[in-house]
Amino acid sequence: MSRFQAIPGIHVCLRRLGFHLSLGYLVFLLLLAICAPWIAPHSPTLQNPSHVLLPADGTYLLGTDDLGRDVFSRLVWGAPLTLYGSLLAVLVACGIGLPLGLIAGFSGGWIDAAISRGIDTMLSFPAIVLAIGVTGMLGIGQTNSMIAVGIVFSPTIARLVRGQTLIGREALYVDAARCFGASNSRLILRHILPNAIQPVIVQATLLLAMALLAEASLSFLGLGVQPPQPGWGAMLARGYHYMEIAPSQIYAPGIAILVTALSVNTLGENLRVILDPRRRR
Amino acid sequence: MAVSSLLDVDNLGIFFETPRGMVPTVSGISFSVRPGERVGIVGESGCGKTVTGLSLLGLLPPQVARVSGRALFEGRNLLTMSRSQLRRLSGAGIGMIFQEPMRALDPVFTIGEQISETLRAHTDVSRREARLRSIAALAEVGIPSPERRYDDYPHILSGGMQQRVMIAMALICRPRLLIADEPTTALDVTVQAQIIDLLHRLSDERGMALLFITHDLGVVAELCTRVLILYAGQIVEDAAIESVYRAPKHPYTAALFQSMPRLSLRGKPLPVIGGRVPGFADMPGGCRFRDRCAYAQPGCVRKPELESYDDRRVRCFRACDLTLPGAV
Amino acid sequence: MRAKRMARLIGYSLLQAGPVLVVATFMVFALMQLVPGDVAIALAGENATRARVEEIRILYGLDRPILAQYGSWLWKMAQGDMSVSMLSAEPVFDSIQRRLPVTLLVVGLAMLASLAVGIPLGLTAAMHPRRLVDFVVTAFASLGIALPGFWLGMILVSIFAMSLNWFPVSGMAKMATDPWGAVWHAILPAVALAASGAAEVARQTRSALLEIQSSQYMRTLLAKGLPQSQIFWKHGLKNISVTLLTVTGLLFNRLLGGTVVIEAVFAISGMGSLVVTAATGKDYPVIQGVMLTMVVIVVAVNLVIEILYAVFDPRITTR
Ligand SMILES: Nc1ncnc2c1ncn2[C@@H]1O[C@H](COP(=O)(O)OP(=O)(O)OP(=O)(O)O)[C@@H](O)[C@H]1O
Ligand SMILES: [Mg+2]
């Protein structure tokens, strides 16, 4: 029986390690994104026809692409672009989903039925296809495509907030507050929203990872970040053509996407545990 | 004594692995049950009744629970026997029923299937035969039109009916001992009485022993012949029903009686036991009840043993000199 | 009695799917409202004459109230008339009909792979909680979920198609004349697509089995003395199949979306490349046609799953 004893310890330790590593990486990435102009050794868009597809060396840390641009600098400059796109999508998702969920959960009746049906229906579309469709209608480009992703993600938030609002509405303290004549908007703002916000934070973090992957995908498809801007997905699209000659062009951006998405997911999973009300004493 | 007893638990201890280390939840539990005897285990919520019952059939979560001590059933130690031996005994020699029948039945199989598979796991009977005997068992526990109910899924039955199904399932192989963990707590009062009557009747008819876990002293009085009072993971009193009701020897037992609703108390507030049960992680040494005890003395900081007085066992230094009010 | 219940459930599920389809088609239709500026100008092209714009407006019925427009649009769609591509002038229905099988082939293979890999992994992990296998599976699942499928596709191409020459680099064989060639071409894309699917399935399977194992009825089964194998293969499997059905439905939706990006990597002309080209070229009828097709397929698959669900879980009733 004692052979069980050591293992939960390792499990917990590894979990904590993962949390700290991902948190550290994300802070690093954020600083990198902010300081990109000072960190990147070269211009991300400057073309140099005599330095095309060079391998990595001291000047070009990750080599150059087919237009002679420094891959490392493009990777560094890609960080703020990618983060901007993903955060925009999550903000849009929350901006639409929060009010919709609150309204649905709080008003009930046919309004709730209508919103819920809409949520269900939107979730029946394959997410990326819906995002592509909306992007196609709005016009391609990073901002439009990430607004589209935000719209597509909003039902997830709305559904969550609706559920939380229903729970909150049933709660005793809301009844009590209502007895004391609190207005609906006050009830929502002071009593229901604060209780709904923690799961929303967790969900938004997990959505951020999905938005990051969506951003990369849409840019890869040419619907997001437009050339000559250095988005990670766009770099992959370009590098794919020269994969055999210059593999670093697909490895570096791909690993950047993977590690960032992994870190954000790890952060989200840990937040879920940390913010879980059942865990708190 | 050891020869004539069906179940003989000796110095049972249960530990849980928690983030704050190994916590002893139940310790030094010793008692025995004779064939056909009905024994109640009574105590407040969290005192370790359920884990005691579960430990006997090895049902505690293996990742976090450690069990020490000895529990002889018909002379064989339940705590050390192999998985397959224990499996053959579970359901056949010892049956068990639980508090929430809805959650204790598998939702995606019919009740008939769940009863027959129990029978077929322990005896070599055909499907047909198992079906017939399961229907008979359903009839025996008072389920109307059992042939039709056989193919029903658990969720369409009422709580009382579900508990009857659980009983039929636990008894289909005619076990010598039934462990019942608060089988009536989730049911309403009239149904509760019916289930108690049913258990009483079946135990009488079959000479089946019963280990009845509850926090309701009233139910124990109706059903059992002997009662173990548990406090904070220890037995504090073990006595025949009549004597404990007439004259409890442990202050905690007396306090339990005081906090029972009675007609004579109508209109007055119900006395409650003041203070809280200490946590298992920071259990005080000495008598575990002393901080809440009206009769505590300085000497109670020493650890009391469960000692025999006449026909009973009590864990209190003052068991001889106190005269405590009973329930009658 | 069972047959009657099933019939009622099927009828009920169909009734449920109806409104979803109505709302979904309306959403696809209403997408046009997102087009900035005058839709008629957008449809006619930027340098069309005024008269041409008005002609288009009448032709597409853009001068009528929106619900009326929706009604006639839906009626046309229902008859298989999805109008024509603004770029290639090919009827949208025809291009979809040509490309859908390719996409479904890749998605189908990826579904099989995801379930075939994900379920055993999830079960193994849950059967040894907190042990090394569990940790490895959980770690791989986290990795798979964060892995961009199209990037994995590129790496697969570079290894298995370019270096080892085991698989074709890109393209697709004609399914009608060379079905095995088509499967051959679809394998790498399906693997790239299945990685995240398998990860998700493994995770869901693991947590579902863990939940079942900690349920009270599992305790009852042990207390009844059922053999371990029977507890797992009979009770565990039937209970988990309910979750797995839900997972399968979500997986299909996910993979159908994911294939859009994968097709670009492998230069497969399926639904994905169709909608991407359309989105880049503002080919609105094609965008609408693809989205409509996909949502109808998803709703149909979910309908089947709903019905199967009721077979496995007796608690599901029509209420
Ligand atoms: N899996 C577990 N991990 C850690 N501690 C546990 C676990 N299961 C039970 N315990 C501890 O064991 C103690 C006894 O629990 P048990 O369920 O036996 O109480 P009980 O007497 O049956 O109470 P109730 O009347 O509420 O059913 C509890 O205080 C609980 O903290
Ligand atoms: Mg209990």
B234 forms beta bridges with: B231
Nearest to C224 among B100, B121, B155 (CB): B121
Ligand 2 mean position to B256 CA, how many Å?
17
Give dist(CA C96, CA C84) in Å, integer.
11
Mean pLDDT lowest among A10-19, A197-206, B152-161: A10-19
Q: Is the CB of B49 under 6 A from ligand 1?
A: yes
Give dist(CA C173, CA A37) in Å, integer.
48
- Nearest chain B Cα to A9, which residue? B19
Q: Is the CB of B181 under 6 A from ligand 1?
A: no
Judge: C214–B61 Cβ closer than 8 Å, yes or no.
Answer: yes
Residue C253: predicted pLDDT? 92
Q: Say how many Å lie between the first and final Cα of chain A, rounded.
A: 30
Give dist(CA A171, CA A187) in Å, integer.
12
Read off the DSSP letter of residue A64: B
- Domains of chain B, CATH where assigned: 7-90+175-314 (3.40.50.300), 103-174 (no CATH)
Q: What is the pLDDT of residues A155-199, one digit of tens each?
A: 999 999 999 888 877 776 666 766 666 677 777 777 777 777 888
Judge: C145–A265 Cβ closer than 8 Å, yes or no.
Answer: yes
Judge: B106–C235 Cβ closer than 8 Å, yes or no.
Answer: yes
Inter-chain Cβ pairs, chain B and chain C, closer than 8 A: 85
Give dist(CA A136, CA C282) in Å, integer.
6
Ligand 1 pocket mutation, candidates B49, B66, B96, B181, criterion most atoms within 8 A of CB: B49
Q: What is the pLDDT of residues C60-79, one digit of tens each?
A: 777 788 888 888 888 888 88
Identify which of B106-120, B233-247, C169-183, C297-311 has the greatest average pLDDT.
Answer: B106-120
**Beta-carbon-side half-sphere exposure of residue C234 (alpha carbons within 13 Å):** 17
Minimal C-alpha gap between C282 and chain A (Å): 6
Domain A2-279 bears CATH identifier 1.10.3720.10: yes
Mean pLDDT lowest among A7-11, B27-31, C99-103: A7-11
Q: Does C162 touch chain A (CB under 8 A)?
A: yes
Judge: A5–B17 Cβ closer than 8 Å, yes or no.
Answer: yes
Q: Does A55 touch chain C (CB under 8 A)?
A: no
Mean pLDDT lowest among A28-32, B293-297, C58-62, C71-75: C58-62
**In whole numbers, what is the pLDDT of chain A averaged over residues?**
82
Residues in Cβ contact with A17 at an 8 Å cutoff, skipping those fewer than 6 apart: none
**Tokens representing B192?**
């509760």
Q: Is the pLDDT of residue A279 over 80?
A: no
Ligand 2 mean position to B185 CA, how many Å?
10
Minimal C-alpha gap between A182 and chain C (Å): 36
Q: What is the pLDDT of residues A189-232, one digit of tens each?
A: 777 777 778 889 999 999 999 999 999 999 999 888 888 888 88
Nearest to C291 among A129, A140, A244 (CB): A129
The neighbourhood of ligand 2, an ion, using CB within 5 A, equals: B 50
Ligand in nearest proximity to the CA of B98:
2
The average pLDDT across A229-251 equals 81
Q: Say how many Å lie between the first and final Cα of chain C, rounded.
A: 16
A8 contacts on B by Cβ (under 8 Å): 17, 63
**In whole numbers, what is the pLDDT of chain C averaged over residues?**
85
Q: What is A9-33 written as a DSSP string?
A: HHHHHHHHHHHHHHHHHHHHHHHHH
Q: What is the pLDDT of residues A126-163, one digit of tens each?
A: 999 999 999 988 888 899 999 999 999 999 999 999 99
Ligand 2 mean position to B50 CA, how many Å?
4
A209 contacts on C by Cβ (under 8 Å): 146
Q: Is the CB of B48 under 6 A from ligand 1?
A: yes
C220 contacts on B by Cβ (under 8 Å): 96, 98, 104-106, 166, 169
Catalogue the long-range contacts made by C128-134 (C-beta closer than 8 Å, 24 or more residues apart): C129/B63, C129/C210, C130/A4, C130/A7, C130/A8, C130/A11, C130/B63, C131/A7, C134/C206
Angle at CA C255, nearest 5°, toward C18 and C24?
A: 25
Q: Does A266 touch chain C (CB under 8 A)?
A: yes
Distances (CA, A) of A224 to A43, A86, A232, A243, C32: 21, 11, 11, 22, 20
| Atom of ligand 1 lying closest to residue B14 CA | 12
**pLDDT grade, residue B11 (50/70/90)?**
very high
Q: Is the pLDDT of residue A4 over 60?
A: no
The domain spans of chain A are: 2-279
Residue A174: predicted pLDDT? 66
Residue C94: predicted pLDDT? 84
The average pLDDT across C279-308 equals 89
Ligand in nearest proximity to the CA of B52:
1
Q: Can you tell me the ipTM of this complex?
A: 0.88
Compare C168 and B119 and report the one with higher pLDDT.
B119
Residue A3: predicted pLDDT? 31
Judge: A136–C23 Cβ closer than 8 Å, yes or no.
Answer: no
Q: Where are the alpha helices (DSSP H) in chain C?
A: 2-30, 39-44, 50-59, 66-78, 92-127, 132-146, 149-156, 179-213, 216-223, 228-230, 237-265, 271-280, 284-312
Residue A173: predicted pLDDT? 64
Q: What is the pTM of this model?
A: 0.84
Give dist(CA C287, CA C83) in Å, integer.
11
Judge: B59–C129 Cβ closer than 8 Å, yes or no.
Answer: no
A216 contacts on C by Cβ (under 8 Å): 148, 150-151
Q: Name the residue with the closest Cα to ligand 1, atom 26.
A: B45
**Peptide bond before A228: cis, by omega within 30 degrees of 0?**
yes
Q: Where are the alpha helices (DSSP H) in B180-249?
A: 189-206, 217-223, 241-246
Compare C81 and A25 and report the one with higher pLDDT.
A25
Q: Is the CB of B50 under 6 A from ligand 1?
A: yes
| Atom of ligand 1 lying closest to residue B99 CA | 27
Using an 8 Å Cβ cutoff, are A168 and A192 in contact? yes
Q: Is the pLDDT of residue B204 over 90?
A: yes
A1 contacts on B by Cβ (under 8 Å): 62, 66
Percent of chain B with pLDDT over 70: 95
Residue A10: predicted pLDDT? 64
**Tokens representing B316?**
């209190």
Nearest to C36 among A11, A139, A140 (CB): A139
Q: Is the CB of B55 under 6 A from ligand 1?
A: no
Compare B161 and B326 and report the one with higher pLDDT.
B161
Residue B209: predicted pLDDT? 94
Ligand 1 pocket mutation, candidates B26, B44, B45, B51, criterion most atoms within 8 A of CB: B51
Three-state secondary-structure class, residue B72? strand
Ligand 1 mean position to B62 CA, how many Å?
15
Minimal C-alpha gap between C228 and chain B (Å): 9
**pLDDT grade, residue B262 (50/70/90)?**
low
| Atom of ligand 1 lying closest to residue B230 CA | 21
**C31, C132, C169, C276, best to mutate vs chain A, most A CBs in 10 Å:** C276
B91 contacts on C by Cβ (under 8 Å): 223-226
Three-state secondary-structure class, residue C91? strand
Q: Name the residue with the closest Cα to ligand 1, atom 25.
A: B45
Distances (CA, A) of B83 to B16, B69, B88, B185: 21, 17, 9, 31
Among A272, A274, A267, CA closest to A29: A267
